[in-house]
Chains A and B, each alone.
Chain A
Amino acid sequence: MAGRSARRWVAAVPQQVRHLGAIFALLVAGLVGARQVLVPKTFGERGHYRAAAVDSIVAQEIGYAGHAACETCHPDIADKKGQSYHRGVACEVCHGPQAAHVLAPMDHKPPAPRERAYCPLCHGYNPSRPTGFPQIDPVLHNPVRPCISCHDPHDPTPPHPPESCAACHGEIARTKAISYHAELPCTQCHAVDRRHSVSPRQQRPSKPTTREFCGRCHAQDADSPPEIPRVDLASHGPGYVCWQCHYPHHPEAR
């Protein structure tokens, strides 16, 4: 009785709807089945993620020991670095994850990034780095030599550029020291930019170019101390610049 009325009811539904309904039912069943198989068991227990993921993360091996761990055995380096520009850069940033080294220092030797390509990862010029962050152009900044040949990685303060000219112009300084111009500083006759001592060939100092330059002290009417010997610029060795006869660094230049 019930079966027949149900069959009649089904027959009253248009054929299209029956067939479409079957397809949709299949699709929905497929989705439900796929969910059964594919959705991880613990999904949604605590949020929109697989709750067991937390356990599998906890189970991962720990690679990093943390900054404090290094200090106990390497206090000298930790102190040095703590005072330096690199105080904010943790040891394991450069030396890699070292939990294994902390447990067995002699068996696991940490690597050190000695090659030149490493430091520009942080210090290479990049317009999106904050203004004021020390940046260099790795191509132009003292090329070829490894960075650590000039900068101690644990205290990278830039090496002081030599202050005295003698560091590089030793011979001139030594001869000048016994010349009649010993009292005059080099900068009396050469205008030197600060950067000359960092990149000397790019920043050349000036050199005297005229007879009048020497005349500022040696001309008859020069406004200079009276003990300085005078000559008459107009008649004394005319046609030549003074240093063709008196090289001013040299003692014998008479």
Chain B
Amino acid sequence: MRPMQGYVYPNEFELHWGLLIVVYPYLTGLVAGAFILASLARVFNVREVQPVYRLSLLTALAFLIAAPLPLLAHLGRPERAFEIFLTPNLRSAMAMFGFVYAWYLMVVLLLEIWFDYRKDLVIWSRGSTGVLSLVRRILTLGATDLSEGALRFDAGAGKLITIVGIPSAFLLHGYVGFIFGSVKANPWWSSVLMPVVFLFSAIVSGIALMLLIFMISSLVRFKRVDMACMDKLAAFLMYALVVDFSLEMLDFTQRLYEAEESIRILSQMLSSRLVLSLIVLQVLVGTVLPLMSLALVAPTVRKQGLVKVPDELRRLIYFVVAVLIQIGIFSTRWNVVIGGQLFSKSLRGLTVYKIELLGIEGMLTAGAIVVLPLVILLVLVKLLPPWPDAEAGATAGIGLGLAVSPARR
């Protein structure tokens, strides 16, 4: 590929937002997607996906903890990042994002997880010693009341937070899209559809991720994979994918029909720089192929998919589809972030992105940041087992807990 074509301003020769800024919306998308899945399970009481409810919450938390890292690593002076909290700038979308993030982390995710796990935390930590139960005891924050009224309050508060949480999750990821969509000098980004497209691609990636994590965690724990749950997830995935793809096509058609002055350079970019990442990876491999596979095997309109497939094969197809979707969504982020900087604002030239391997903004850092949430998730799962059979209610402990607590009051 030729390094540069046409006329490019000196400050556009090198890209300022690199791989890390690609990773960032990818991670927040997974957070929002996983959380919205959990909320669906709770608010609309979808029985089949209950098994992934807690796992989704923990996944969302794990990815949310890692989400700001790419931004921090990209900053020249990361140790100053906290200043956006001290001196809030109401007129800067980027600065206010810190508050959106904090709201989502503290008020939504942590609270919902806390209310959901409080009973189990109290029971798990009761009587036993050791570091694990000490941590769990600290996590109860001393709120050890397990009376029926208290438990009812937990459930009510959890539900309320979930309801507040859905718009918050929309806000979190819509916001990322908003930041790109409101750059009016950049025709590739500037679009009111951007937040919505980001949101639905987030839902797609989150559901696909949960499908993967659920399947792998079942296998690792030598449990049978719950096919009812998998089928439901696949159906949701398919619906979200349809909406996501339609929105993207709408955006595309609109641009094509409007044919603003930028259309020539954008189509040039599409047909040279973004062939692999957009046409092949994002559209064909990441959307059309999964869409067709899901339409064939996932039970959406009917009780069964269009083609009847044995469970094992269906599971394998879901697995492959979910992996393809992850690749596709990552490419989507790539195309937005990198694509928006490959063409000159003069609309007369194209540059290239040279990816680094080492260095703070290189491939290794980005890879580590993508893997980190999985490590965090592992720790969280040890601390707060999300499996249905670990719930205190499933063991004799619940009887004990309920019997003891009124007596203690």
A residues contacting B by CB (< 8 A) are 14-16, 18-20, 23, 27, 31, 34-35, 38-39, 43-44, 48, 126-129, 131
Smallest CB gap from B144: residue in A: A15
Q: Which of A16, A23, A27 has the most CB of B within 10 A?
A: A16
Docked Cα-Cα span, A16 to B147, in Å, equals 12
A35's closest neighbor in chain B, by CB? B86
A16 touches B143 (CB 8 A): yes
A-B contact pairs, 21 of them (CB 8 A): A14-B145, A15-B150, A16-B115, A16-B118, A16-B153, A16-B157, A18-B143, A19-B142, A19-B143, A20-B141, A20-B143, A27-B106, A38-B83, A38-B86, A39-B86, A43-B87, A44-B87, A126-B10, A126-B13, A127-B3, A128-B9
Cβ contact within 8 Å between A127 and B13 = yes
Q: Taking CB as reference atom, which chain A residue is nearest B11?
A: A128
* Closest-CB distance, A122 to chain B (whole angstroms): 12
Residues of A within 8 A of B8 (CB): 127-128
Do residues A14 and B10 form an inter-chain contact, with CB atoms below 8 A? Answer: no
Q: Which residue of B lies closest to A20 (CB)?
A: B141
A39/B87 in contact, CB under 8 A: yes
Q: Mark B67-110, 1 if CB is under 8 A from A, else 0.
A: 00000000000000001011101010000000000000010000
Question: A48: which B residues are within 8 A, CB to CB?
Answer: 87, 89, 91
Given contacts A15-B144, A128-B9, 10 further A-B contacts (CB under 8 A): A14-B150, A16-B150, A16-B157, A19-B142, A20-B111, A20-B114, A20-B143, A34-B86, A38-B83, A127-B4
Partner of B85, one of A16, A19, A20, A31: A31
Residues of B contacting A126 in the complex (Cβ-Cβ under 8 angstroms): 10, 13
| Docked pose: A170 CA to B149 CA in angstroms | 112
Judge whether B4 and A19 touch: CB under 8 Å. no
Contacting residue for A15 out of B10, B86, B106, B143, CB 8 A: B143
Could you say which of B12, B115, B118, B142 has the most chain A C-beta atoms within 10 Å of its C-beta?
A: B142
Interface residues of B in 124-157 (CB under 8 A from A): 141-145, 149-150, 153-154, 157
Residues of B within 8 A of A (CB): 3-4, 7-10, 12-13, 83, 85-87, 89, 91, 106, 111, 114-115, 118, 141-145, 149-150, 153-154, 157
A129 near B10 with CB under 8 A, answer yes
Closest to B5 in A: A127
A128 to B143, CA, bound (A): 64
Report the Cα distance A18→B115, complex, angstroms. Answer: 13
Q: Closest residue of chain A to B88, judged by CB?
A: A48
A67-B54 Cα distance, complex, nearest whole Å: 69
Q: Which residues of B contact A15 (CB under 8 A)?
A: 143-145, 150
B7 (CB) vs chain A CBs: closest residue: A131
- The 7 A-B residue pairs whose C-beta atoms are closest, nearest first, are A15-B145, A128-B10, A128-B13, A19-B143, A19-B141, A16-B143, A14-B153
CA–CA, A35 to B115, complex, Å? 30
* Interchain nearest-CB distance for A251 vs B (Å): 57
**A156 CB to nearest chain B CB (Å):** 22
* Chain A proximity of B160: nearest CB distance (Å): 12
Contacts of A34 in B (CB 8 A): 86
Which A residues lie within 8 Å of B85 (CB)?
A: 31
Contacts of B83 in A (CB 8 A): 38
A contact residues around B118 at 8 Å (CB):
16
Q: B142 to chain A: which residues have CB within 8 Å?
A: 19
Complex contacts, B12 vs chain A, CB 8 Å: 128
Chain A residues with Cβ under 8 A from B7's Cβ?
Answer: 131
Docked Cα-Cα span, A108 to B10, in Å, equals 35
Interchain CB contact (< 8 A) of B145 among A16, A38, A39: A16
B73 to chain A, nearest CB (A): 23
Residues of B within 8 A of A38 (CB): 83, 86
Chain B residues in 8 Å Cβ range of A27: 106
> Which residues on A sit within 8 Å (CB–CB) of B10?
126, 128-129
CB distance from B305 to the nearest CB of A (A): 44
Q: Which residues of B sit under 8 angstroms from A14, Cβ to Cβ?
A: 145, 149-150, 153
Report Cα–Cα, A209/B149, bound state, in Å: 112
A40 to chain B, nearest CB (A): 9
Q: Report how far A219 CA is from B114 CA in the complex, Å.
A: 110
Q: What distance in Å separates the Cβ of B108 from its nearest Cβ neighbour in chain A? A: 14
A18 to B145, CA, bound (A): 12
Distance of B17 from chain A, by nearest CB (Å):
18
Give the docked Cα–Cα distance between A131 and B141 (Å).
67
- Chain B residue at minimum C-beta to C-beta distance from A131: B7
Task: Assess whether B154 is in contact with A16, with CB atoms less than 8 Å apart.
Answer: yes
C-alpha spacing A13/B211, complex, angstroms: 40
- Distance A31 CA – B102 CA, assembled complex (angstroms): 13
Q: Note all chain A residues with C-beta closer than 8 A to B145.
A: 14-16
Q: How far is the CB of A20 from chain B (nearest CB, A)?
A: 7
- A34–B88 Cα gap in the complex (Å)? 13
Residues on B with C-beta less than 8 A from A20 are: 111, 114, 141, 143
State in angstroms the CA–CA spacing of A250 and B126 once bound together. Answer: 115
A128 touches B4 (CB 8 A): yes
Q: How far is the CA of A15 from the CA of B89 in the complex (A)?
A: 36
CA distance A19 to B91 in the complex (A): 35
- Bound CA span A20–B149, Å: 17
Kindly report which residue of chain B lies nearest to residue A40, judged by CB atoms. Answer: B87
Q: Which residues of B have CB within 8 Å of A128?
A: 4, 8-10, 12-13
Complex Cα gap A38–B144 (Å): 37
| Complex contacts, B141 vs chain A, CB 8 Å | 19-20, 23
Kindly state the separation between the CA atoms of A34 and B85 in the bound complex, as whole angstroms: 10
Q: In the complex, A233→B270 CA distance in Å?
A: 68
- In Å, the complex CA distance between A102 and B87 comes to 43
Q: How far is the CA of A84 from the CA of B144 in the complex (A)?
A: 85
